[in-house]
Structure 1
Amino acid sequence: DGTTWEFAAAAKAAFLGFKAGDPGIPVVNGGFAVNSLAVNAFPDDILRNDLAEYFDIFNIHIYDQLRDYPAIVADWRRLLAQHGAADMRLWVTENGTYAEGCAAEALPGSSNRVQSPEQEMVWAEFVPKSQILLRSLGAARTFTFVLPPMNEKHGRKEWGMIRRDGSARPAFAAFATLTDQLAAAQFLGEPDLGSGIRAFLFRQPDGSQTLAFWSESELDRTAPDPVGGIRPVHEFRRTFAIPASCSAVLTDLFGMSETVSPEDGRLSLTATRFPAYLSGGSDIPVRTPPVGTGAVGARMSGLDKSVVLSVVPSEEFTVGVRKNLLLLSAGAKERKVKLRVANFSEENKRGVVAVEGAVPSGLPGAIELAPFEEKEFELRLPAGLPAGRHELVFGGLFNGRRISRLVLPVVVSAPVAETPLLPGSGDPVRWRKNSSGAMTIAWDEREKAVRFDVEFPPDTDRWVYPEFMLPDGFPEGTLGFSFEIRTAQAAAEKPDINLVMLVEGEGEAGKSHHVYYTPSCGEWRENFIELASFSPGKIRQFRIGMNPRRGKVTFFLRNIRLHLAGKGGACNKK
């Protein structure tokens, strides 16, 4: 539940502690587990706090389709470059797939399900493909999730390269073969072996070469259905030939090897969907050169890293649902925040803290800090801040050196009386059904809210996200919108996922920005969805809903209000 500024301050202190214990130990950032940087600004907001000064290796999680790996890694590289760490080493500390779909077989005496033999083979295909692809994109290490068996999504999703009886799944054998063939090898680049064939050339420590190759399948090219998944029915056999003057060893997915010999100076081979390895062949030209894995080491810009700032807001503020900004009512009186200045060094420090943007009152003059001392100061935001987005960028100079920044975004909202209801949002006719179950939408007079009832068929992926259309987008100057939600469930039945989807288009078309909201556990709960980070005018619809645990769910929505820069606009409408 931590905010971007809390995460940054804690990570800085942790880095300094690790390095105090062992200056040579490599430190990685807390792994980012976001689907897309295009729809989630949390990593960028954290790194704006100069956090690239406080880790040596950048690590992320990837559970997307194989076809999207190049764009995903490129996005993360661009983000690192924006923060002065373009060549930092990259690790993928969690990597997996949902391509096999929901586990197909029942586990006696348990609500958990297990993979069928066909589903196990999807994973066996995925593991070496994902590892080799990520290596080709510059990832220095990739950690497949996960070795032991485990279930998620109410037992319907099974992970693990080991079965519950301790036996090895095909993915384990495929991973062992990959390790045996390529663990010590250096990546040289990608040869061109023809349409539909992926090939990756490696050099072994003894100077010999190993060619990893496969034929593209649905796993490489599509986004599989999350329930039914894909099944390795077709082998996608494609033949190719390479120049060769001597015999080579061909090893299949599971480590079975055979000697293959050339004819007329060429070695004829067949690629299938399952990766194979050719060792001992002649030099093969590469079409795409290798991508470097980057360097270990934090960004160095001369900062005094030992002085760390943190901020604690008063109860007048609320935290935005994306944990990257503070919300403040225009009518708030005190507007207090506590500024903490810590010296994580064995030296005395003397300096000043400065703030850019909305400068608060109460900033101290010169600050004296003994070794490992922290001091706290009470600040007040200016009383005249208009409705809108503001930023406080804290920094300073201690012992003649700059310290790292702390960025505190604040959105000031207009009073409720000046905040208009979104026209039509209280009319059940304006909401479109969108669910994997049977859904009804009606006005509930007692709750003064739109009521949504859904009943799901058995053994289905449960989701409900009713749609509200915005033909002209949100009005210009929209900072965000708030809504009240109530569900009938208790805390123990809280949905796995609660999302607002902001869609730049109609239906399933267009870019969708997914924002988590704080769910209700039987009470009315208000949420604020910030739009200032997006282009509000491009949003043509939004969905508010959940992935519930139960087969039947009821929830209510009311008071969907627009928060505009300056004063509120049109008169309220139901």
Structure 2
Amino acid sequence: MEGISMNCLNFIMSLVITMPIASDVTSDQIGNVFTEDKSVIFHFNSDKDANMTITDYNGKKVVNKKIFADKPDIDLGQMPKSYYLMQIENEEEKKEVHFCVIPSIESRPKIDDSAIASDLATSWLVKPEQFDSLAQLAKLSGLFWIRDRITWEELEINRGKWADNTKYDLSADIQTKRGLKVYQVFHATPAWAQEVKNSHSFPDDLRDIYNFSAEMAKRYKGSVLAWEVWNEPDISVFSDELGDSYASMLKAMYLGFKSADPTLPVLICSFAMGPGKFAETIFQNDVGNYFDIYNYHIYDKVEKHKERALAHINLMKKYGIKNKPIWLTEAGHPIRRKDELVEYTTEQGRDVAEFLPKAIITSLSAGVDKYFWFILPYYRENDFNLFGLLRQDLTPTAGYCSISACTYALGKAKYLGRLDIEGVNAHVFERDDNDITIALWVDEGKKIPRININAEKAKIIDVMGVDDEVVINEGISKITITESIKYLVIPAGSLKDNPVIDYPREKFEVEQYNPDKISPIVVRLKFQIDSRDKQAENYRFKKLEEARIGIELYNFSQKEFVCRIEPIIPDGWTGSINDDSAIIGRMGMTMRDIRLMPSNDAKSESVEFRVNVIDESGNIETFTLAWIRAFE
């Protein structure tokens, strides 16, 4: 062989012959996830015998035996539901294998939806050859709704030029075929849609994002069942624009989606933070009829989940928005990785498993309609934060078993209220048509609560999904409750105690689209980029210096629109528009300029700047509102 000496080749061949073959332990189950009705069987591929130990979720060693190279099949029989850590060791190597046993499909409540969901980000976080495995693992865990990701520029590679057979088409198709309900989100603008190349800014022409929305609604009809308009634009990581600009884009996208599929639900952006100035500005721009589902995120302690939910609900009430479902579409428990490790430790996995159901239940109790855990597959953020209920090889962490147990125990997870038991968190849910579930835990210590039940027997389920029968003595259930959640499943109608809903909120379905409630005319103000103050949510103007602001007028209808533009100039400011009348052609856009200047008397705090669009009858067709501030 050219370039390799014979001595070198002989040395390489000797290594191949003499080096031991590394042990390999595999199963026929995707991700080593077994259901309770199956025997746990592994295949041991090695040229050497080894010792095998298996430890369950509680740290109990349940198997300790020798395995042999000449007996490759390891049949452990049917095992209790739990997360398990298998360790294989001989004199040359040590190997860990993670697996779990979860409820069977047949044992689960017979339902077609649940308030418990998960973010998968399938298209971004796993390889296409893993799409089907991840979808099956999601379905096995009892999930229905999942959240994915999409990249605009990879689908529309140039204006009007669409890519075929992308990974996004594949993921949507596979997940739908596996019985999952997919909703999509994106948060980047293509370079071709901007003069200043910044993917975190919105497109220069809102007709581009209208057309993209319409095409997505048509392309994925039946396989993507809802769309979110941008991820977390309230923080600069995902957008450098302010709330007024987002409101204009939201209107354009909503009109685009509905033009192609009026039944398609559209989510407002996911707010990363609690309600603040960015969110306030959006709602001051009259967006209430331009989205179907409210949407927010949280990464915080369990007790903060209720506070965040109520803050967003109060924001909706403030602006008269009472008829929208509320989805919490990212909520998780970031784990800081240890030293050189790139996966959770077993202890960290238990921490996630214990946190997950309490966070879900706390948010649902405060009025959230659907809770998406972040995230099912492995995800490493900023090098040090670990997320994911699965490991890199799609094998489970304890958190995967926990969400599987949670969906098994709560089923529909329709919130019915709280039981007033001192020192005990006790939340009641409709599981299915036949059962209700009481989720129970204490913040510290132990309690034995008295629960009045008109039944002879009940079922208790632990955080791993292990269920045991409970005998009801004289109509009273007495079970020991600890900091680890327990689910008490009883027949519907058998609970004698009356649950209390602390935060009553009527539940709404997505409203039928009504084009008469919205305007096809959208107006957007174009301020200088360097005038944006993202944190303060205003545009900054130096006193006595005139600045030009563009006024973009879009007509997303098939009829010509004639209008007058009416800027409302704040006190202490001067302003003039180059032409206050406009004729906007169908599906067209026209531009006007306004010159603004703060005087020395202009206030230094934010003031409202509004531009009305007046129709031929003298009525306000639409408007936009931004906040501006003068400085010395």
Same fold (TM over 0.5): yes
Residues 336, 298 of structure 1: alpha-carbon distance in 2 compared, 3 angstrom cutoff: farther
SS at match of 1:377: strand
Matches within 5 A, 1:484-523: none
**Does 2:580 match 1:362?**
no
Displacement after TM superposition at 1:376 (Å): 0.5
Q: 2:524 aligns with which of 302, 310, 315?
A: 310
Q: Is the 8 A contact 2:263 2:513 kept in 1?
A: no
Question: Is 1:95 matched with 2:95?
Answer: no
Say whether residues 1:390 and 2:607 are aligned partners: yes
Instruction: String of CA shifts for 1:422-457, please: whole Å, max 9, x gaps.
Output: xxxxxxxxxxxxxxxxxxxxxxxxxxxxxxxxxxxx
CA deviation profile, 1:247-286 (whole Å, cap 9, x unmatched): 1111111111111112233221011222221122531423
Partner of residue 470, structure 1: none
SS of match in other structure, 1:8: helix
CA distance in 1, matches of 2:479, 2:344: 32
Q: Please point out which of 415, 435, 438 is paired with 1:211.
A: 438
CA distance in 2, matches of 1:340, 1:208: 56
Deviations 1:142-170 (A, max 9, x none): 111011112224x3221100012321111
Cα distance in 2 between the residues matched to 1:192 and 1:379 = 60
| Alignment of 1:47 onto 2:283 | yes
Pairwise CA distance, 1:46:
1.9
The 3-state SS of whatever aligns with 2:281 is: helix
What residue is the counterpart of 1:293 in the other structure?
507
Structure 2 SS opposite 1:93: strand
Q: Deviations over 1:444-486 (max 9, x none)?
A: xxxxxxxxxxxxxxxxxxxxxxxxxxxxxxxxxxxxxxxxxxx
Q: 1:246 maps to what in 2?
A: 456
Determine the C-alpha separation between the residues in 1 that align with 2:517 and 2:596: 27
Partner of 2:300: 64
Structure 1 unpaired stretches of 5+: 108-112, 218-235, 415-574
Does 2:247 match 1:32?
no
* Higher mean C-alpha deviation, range 283-292 or range 25-34: 283-292
**1:94-153, Cα deviation, whole Å (9 max, x unpaired):** 00124x5x323532xxxxx43222211111011111111111111111111011112224
C-alpha contact (below 8 Å) 1:307/1:341 kept by paired residues: yes
Q: 1:286 to 1:399 in 2, by over 3 A?
A: farther
Give the letter for the 1:115 counterpart.
Y
> What is the CA-CA distance between 1:406 and the residue it aligns to?
1.1
Amino acid at match of 1:148: P
* Conserved? CA contact 2:242–2:278, under 8 Å: no
Q: Pick one of 340, 345, 353 that aligns with 1:106.
A: 340
Sequence identity, in percent?
Answer: 23
Contact 1:201 1:286 (C-alpha < 8 Å) held by counterparts: no
Greater displacement, 337-346 / 296-305 = 296-305
Instruction: Please identify, of 74-83 and 18-27, the stretch whose mean Cα deviation from structure 2 is larger.
Output: 74-83
Structure 1 segment 176-195 matched on structure 2, within 5 A: 176-195=404-423
Which residue of 412, 425, 436 corresponds with 1:198? 425
How far apart are the structure 2 equivalents of 1:61 and 1:299? 26
2:256 corresponds to: 17
Q: Which amino acid aligns with 2:353?
A: A
Aligned residues: 382
Report the CA distance between 1:243 and its aligned residue.
Answer: 2.6
Once residues 284 and 422 of structure 2 are traced to their aligned partners in structure 1, the CA distance between those partners, rounded to angstroms, is 44
CA distance 1:97–1:380, change in 2 (3 Å): same
Q: Does 1:269 align with 2:457?
A: no
- Is the contact between residue 336 and residue 378 of structure 1 (CA under 8 Å) also seen in structure 2? yes
Cα offset for 1:178? 1.2
CA distance in 2, matches of 1:287, 1:265: 17
1:406 aligns with 2:624: yes
Gap change, CA 1:314 and 1:173, over 3 Å in 2: closer
Q: Please say if 1:373 is aligned against 2:588.
A: yes
Query: 2:309 matched to 1:77?
Result: no
- Say whether the 8 Å CA contact 1:357–1:390 is kept in structure 2: no
Read off the aligned partner of 2:426 and give its amino acid letter: A
Distance across 2 between alignment mates of 1:351 and 1:410? 25
Higher relative contact order (CA 8 A, sep 6+): 1
User: Aligned AA for 2:297?
Assistant: H
- SS of the equivalent of 1:405 reads strand
Separation in structure 1 between the aligned mates of residue 244 and residue 436 of structure 2, nearest angstrom: 48
- Residue in structure 2 matched with residue 341 of structure 1 by the alignment: 553
User: What displacement does 1:370 show?
Assistant: 1.7
What's the secondary structure of 2:249's corresponding residue?
Answer: helix
1:148 partner SS: coil
**Distance across 1 between alignment mates of 2:518 and 2:439:** 47
Counterpart CA distance in 2 for 1:103 and 1:179 is 28
CA contact (8 A) 2:277 2:536 kept: no
Would you say the 8 A contact 1:340–1:376 is kept in 2?
yes
Offset, 1:353 = 2.0
Q: Distance in 2 between matches of 1:264 and 1:90?
A: 41
- 1:148 and 2:377 correspond: yes
Unpaired segments ≥5 residues, structure 2? 1-239
- How many angstroms does 1:383 deviate by? 6.1
Instruction: Write the distance in 2 (CA, Å) between the matches of 1:186 and 1:58.
Output: 18
The answer on 1:255 being equivalent to 2:459 is no
| Largest Rg, 1 or 2 | 2
Residue type of the alignment partner of 2:631: S
* Partner SS, residue 404 of structure 1: strand
AA aligned opposite 2:622: S
Is the 2:544–2:600 Cα contact (8 Å) retained in structure 1? no
- Cα RMSD, aligned residues only: 2.4
Q: Out of 306, 313, 320, which is 2:533 matched to?
A: 320
Match of 1:517?
A: none
In 1, Cα distance between equivalents of 2:590 and 2:268: 26
Q: Is the 8 A contact 1:128 1:175 kept in 2?
A: yes
Q: Relative to structure 1, is the Cα distance of residues 350 and 79 closer, same or farther in structure 2, using a 3 angstrom cutoff?
A: same
| Contact 1:348 1:370 (C-alpha < 8 Å) held by counterparts | yes
Read off the aligned partner of 2:446 and give its amino acid letter. R
1:278 pairs with 2:512: no
Displacement of 1:173 in angstroms is: 0.7
Match of 1:123 in 2: 352
Instruction: Provide closer, same or farther for how the CA distance between residues 347 and 301 of structure 1 changes in structure 2, counting only shifts above 3 A.
Output: closer
Tell me by how many angstroms 1:326 deviates. 1.2
Asked whether the 8 Å contact 2:241–2:532 carries over to 1, the reply is no
* Distance across 2 between alignment mates of 1:331 and 1:385: 7
Q: How does 1:390-469 map to 2 (within 5 A)?
A: 390-398=607-615, 400=617, 402-414=620-632
Give the aligned residue type for 1:141.
K
2:395 to 167, 173, 182: 167
Aligned counterparts of 1:270 and 1:402: Cα–Cα separation in 2: 63
Amino acid of the structure 2 residue aligned with 1:258? D
TM-score by length of 1: 0.62
* Cα separation, 1, equivalents of 2:261 and 2:433: 35
Q: Which has the higher helix share?
A: 2
Q: Which amino acid aligns with 2:615?
A: F
CA 1:301 to 1:345, structure 2 compared with 1: closer, same or farther past 3 Å? closer
